[in-house]
Chain A
Amino acid sequence: DIQLTQSPSFLSAFVGDRVTITCRASQGISSFLAWYQQKPGEAPKLLIHTASTLQSGVPSRFSGSGSGTEFTLTISSLQPEDFATYYCQQVDSYPITFGQGTRLEIK
């Protein structure tokens, strides 16, 4: 199985801050990586697929980059509604796997 390790696991930031979350894969997955946002009591929401493609309707302050084994999700200017938990997911090979999550909280 491909292991995904997200860092940090917890992040505290101010509204307006730029934040970056990293996802490292245990082996190369090309660009087959997706990022999700999940708020308490809600289903996850797809933000980015194929490492850097913004899902329709997602604000442009979200961006993704990377390929191979290292990927990043960047939020350019945090908004109050962005405080949530973020997950990466590899869809390169089976079994599909998720990172352990990064909880983003307001400072």
Chain B
Amino acid sequence: QITLKESGPTLVQPTQTLTLTCTFSGFSLTTTDVSVTWIRQLPGKALEWLALTYSNDDKRYSPSLKTRLTITKDTSEDQVVLTITNMDPVDTATYYCSHHIRGSGSSFWGQGHLVTVSS
């Protein structure tokens, strides 16, 4: 059974760096074409893809946020970490991690983690 869960702060101040952790089970990030993907959803808005990392350390980022994003994986701990620098109130959103298969989409999702950016 595949599960994922996001964790991290729920409140960050403007200009701070956000660190989110996705802890997963039921699959291995050493499997070809399997990735963990981060997606966010601003309140009342559409889904926005942020980044992903594959088993071969292939990493991809949203161009609009690339300078602020870093994705890393710890296969021994079954975790993937996303950091976003210089947080702004417009980054207030629910952040999801998902199990993603190349060319197919995200078949399993975490419950989502609401992050509010405010002073």
Q: Count the B residues whose beta carbon is within 8 Å of the partner chain — how many?
A: 23
For the complex, what is the distance from the CA of A92 to the CA of B37, rounded to whole Å?
A: 15
A81 proximity list for chain B (CB < 8 A): none
**In the complex, what residues of A have CB within 8 A of residue B107's CB?**
46, 49, 55
How many residue pairs link A and B with beta carbons under 8 A? The number is: 60
* 1/0 contact string of A76-107 vs chain B (CB within 8 Å): 00000000000101011011111111000000
Residues on A with C-beta less than 8 A from B100 are 91
Q: Judging by beta carbons under 8 Å apart, are B111 and A43 in contact?
A: yes
Chain B contact residues: helix, strand, loop or mixed: strand
Cα–Cα distance between A99 and B48 once the two chains are bound (Å): 9
Q: How far is the CA of A97 from the CA of B50 in the complex (A)?
A: 9
A49 pairs with B105, CB closer than 8 A = yes
Interface contact B60-A89, CB-CB below 8 Å: no
A32 to B107, CA, bound (A): 14
List of A residues within 8 angstroms of B26 by Cβ:
none
Chain A's closest residue to B37 (CB) is: A96
